Chains A and B, each alone.
Chain A
Amino acid sequence: MMSEVGNTKAAGNAPGHAVDWNLVFFNTLTRSKDAFVPIEPGRVRLYCCGPTVYNTAHIGNLRTYIFEDLLVRVLREAGYAVTHVMNITDVGHLQSDADEGEDKMVLAAEREHRSPWDIARGYEETFFADCAALNIKRPDIVSRATEHVTEMIAFIEQLEKNGCAYVIDGNVYFDVSTRPTTNCAAACPTAALPWRASRPTPASGIRRISSCGSRNRSSRDRS
């Protein structure tokens, strides 16, 4: 996996003179402003969550993309070779961020009487037109979820092998009792469905997610 980055030509300028700026960034992980040190000198691997393309982006969303654009521009000015990757969520984002309810794409398709594919490609185009109008540079790599399903299945299979996921009625659940090594919000992972069955999920399955999540949450030490 790492070798792809080493070979990519997408990463603008040559690395090597990125020491003068002494960049300090706030890190949500540590909750402090820390001196920025990249994994590999002169190079920055950056991932930004992209839009769920079921509607136009509101200007609050666009503020985040403007911030990321500024970050990329500063890193490049400072001399880093940046590989900027952004996803397009064109499947799988349910009504609730915590993986409950229906797929936003499917609901939008019903609302607009178009296929989910038309919805996805149409709003993706609008998104990049908005970004261009805001002088937001296009990421080096834009990846659509629907074009990476094979990789996602392989990833979930490995999670199963690692004992971090279990299957009920064709749904794969992430085992929330599994402890990650670092943690973003000092919160435990909530219930998540790495894979959701297409057929209607029985009500018992949905209850199962909720109870599973709350059981694990309550068993943890929380300040």
Chain B
Amino acid sequence: MKWDSPWGVGFPGWHIECSVMASKYLGSHIDIHCGGIDHISIHHTNEIAQSECYYGHRWVNWWMHAEFLVLDKGKMSKSSGEFLDLSAVREEGFDPLHYRYLCLTAHYRSHLRFSWEALDGARRGLQNLYNRVIALRLTASAKAGRRAATDPAGERYREQFRAALADDLNVPVALSVLWSVVKDAKLDAAARLALVEAFDRVFGLGLIDAQPAELPPDAMAMIREREGARQAGDWAKADELRAKLAERGVMVKDTAKGTEWYLSETD
């Protein structure tokens, strides 16, 4: 990795790279420059120095920095040896989106304390949200969906959501608005679903395509057995199996396409 230059063979420094590439694609005056908080004192200070000495005017208007993720032992860094990557998260049985959800629960300028217990809490929170969205999907009707756009309660939630994000990107508060929406039994399912879909354009949690958590071990066999009973016209047995599934937290719904199932809401 070396190049000819007027000063001999060599390679560029890290700070100059960002100065040059940012300006190449964004021009000599940039709105926002982001990075980790550890870049403030050296990397970004040098970027500013070099770029402003080059242009002779202010280079970036807004600098925004994300705080550290901290372990109980302190800041996570590769050099400290305390180094978890996404494959470590997967190896512990978590989905990357559980980690995304955990990040949404802290403001970007606050330390986020990481532990496996905290990640497990995020997993349960996100799955609970998925279950509620799946339940809403099953009850929402298309007609109600058209009404949702003008629902005043829905508009109030949208306003709260915007206000939270407009206040220095307060995602944890915006997330609490989402929770209020899914729990608001007075708002009809389609209206709630429309809000979930709109809010998730920011959260990026895949809520609309939410899939249920894994079924309890014997539930799929019972769902199939129940389908068989229905086809045979054995309604008593089908009802009995529906009740047994419900005891295990599995709700079933018979549709033209076959049996749909979801896990009941949990708090």
Residue ranges of A at the interface with B (Cβ–Cβ < 8 Å): 1-2, 4-5, 8, 20-29, 33-34, 36, 38-39, 44-49, 52, 55-64, 66-71, 73-74, 77-78, 83, 85, 87, 89-94, 97-99, 103, 105-106, 116-117, 130, 133-137, 141, 143, 145-146, 148-149, 151-153, 155-159, 162, 164, 167, 170-172, 174, 176, 178, 180-185, 187-190, 192-199
User: A63–B69 contact, CB under 8 A?
Assistant: yes
Expressed in whole angstroms, the Cα–Cα distance for A152 and B56 within the complex equals 17
Q: List 14 A-B contacts (CB under 8 A).
A: A2-B28, A8-B25, A46-B34, A48-B33, A49-B33, A59-B89, A60-B77, A97-B43, A170-B9, A178-B49, A182-B52, A182-B59, A187-B45, A192-B16
Specify which chain A residues have a CB less than 8 angstroms from the CB of B10 in the assembled complex. 170-171, 195-198
Nearest CB on B from A117, distance (A): 8
C-alpha gap A144/B69 in the complex (Å) = 26
Task: Select B19's contact among A133, A155, A185, beta carbons within 8 Å.
Answer: A155
**B residues near A52, Cβ cutoff 8 Å:** 14
Within the complex, which residue of A46, A61, A151 is in contact with B24, where a contact is CB–CB below 8 Å? A151
- Shortest A218–chain B CB gap in Å is 17
Q: Mark B21-58, 1 if CB is under 8 A from A, else 0.
A: 11111111111111110111111111011101110111
- Give A77 to B171 CA distance when docked, in angstroms: 14
Indicate if the CB atoms of B21 and A190 lie closer than 8 Å: no
Minimum C-beta distance from A97 to chain B (A): 4
Question: Nearest 4 A-B pairs (CB), nearest first?
Answer: A189-B49, A60-B69, A60-B76, A135-B204
Q: Is the interface of A mostly helix, strand, loop or mixed?
A: mixed
- A159 near B54: Cβ-Cβ < 8 Å: yes
Please name all residues of chain B whose beta carbon is closer than 8 Å to the beta carbon of A171 when the two chains form the complex.
7, 10
Is B13 in the interface zone, CB < 8 Å from A? yes
A184-B63 contact given A58-B83, A133-B86, CB 8 Å threshold: yes
A60 near B68 with CB under 8 A, answer yes
**A60 CA / B46 CA spacing, docked (Å):** 23
**What's the least CB distance linking A19 to chain B, in Å?**
11
Q: Residue of A at shortest CB range from B58?
A: A182
List B contacts of A145 (CB < 8 A).
12, 17, 21
- B65/A28 in contact, CB under 8 A: yes
Closest to B67 in A: A63
Residues of A within 8 A of B36 (CB): 49, 60-61, 64
Given A91-B11, A180-B48, 4 more A-B residue pairs with CB atoms under 8 Å apart are A45-B29, A97-B38, A141-B25, A171-B7
B72-90 Cβ-contact flags toward A at 8 Å (1 or 0): 0001111000011111110
For B228, what are the chain A residues with a Cβ–Cβ distance below 8 Å? none
Find out whether the CB atom of A58 lies under 8 angstroms from the CB atom of B76.
Answer: yes
Interfacial chain B residues near A93, Cβ < 8 Å = 14
CB proximity of B70 to chain A, nearest CB, Å = 8
Q: How large is the interface on B (under 10, 10 to 19, 20 to 34, 35 or more residues)?
A: 35 or more
The verdict on B103 contacting chain A, using a C-beta distance below 8 Å, is: yes
Q: CA A77 – CA B3 in complex, angstroms?
A: 43
B156 in the interface, Cβ–Cβ < 8 Å? no
- Is the beta-carbon distance between A66 and B103 smaller than 8 angstroms? yes
B33 touching A47 by the CB < 8 A rule?
A: yes
B93 to chain A, nearest CB (A): 15
B30 near A29 with CB under 8 A, answer no
Give the residues from 196 to 237 in chain B that come closer than 8 angstroms, CB to CB, to chain A: 201-202, 204-206
Q: A198 and B28: CB pair below 8 A?
A: no
Whole-angstrom distance between the alpha carbons of A56 and B65 in the complex? 21
| Inter-chain contact A63/B57, CB cutoff 8 Å | no
Asked if B142 is an interface residue, CB under 8 A from chain A, the answer is no
Closest to B85 in A: A56
Are A134's CB and B25's CB within 8 A? no
Q: Taking the complex as formed, is B18 at the interface, i.e. its CB lies under 8 A from any CB of chain A? A: yes
Task: Please measure, in the bound complex, the distance between the C-alpha atom of A87 and the C-alpha atom of B15, giving whole angstroms.
Answer: 11
* A73 CB, nearest partner CB in chain B, Å: 5
Please judge, given known A-B contacts A28-B40, A47-B34, A49-B34, whether A152 and B96 are in contact too, CB under 8 Å: no
Residues in A with CB closer than 8 Å to B50 are 155, 159, 164, 174, 189, 192, 194
B254 at interface by CB-CB < 8 Å: no
Interface flag for B99 (CB, 8 Å): yes
Residues from chain A with Cβ under 8 Å of B104 in the complex: 66, 70
Q: Is the CB of A92 within 8 A of B171?
A: no
**Interchain CB contact under 8 A, A148 and B24:** yes
Is A135's CB under 8 angstroms from B40's CB? no
A220 to B2, CA, bound (A): 36
CB distance from A121 to the nearest CB of B (A): 12
Question: Cβ of B97 and Cβ of A134 under 8 Å apart?
Answer: yes
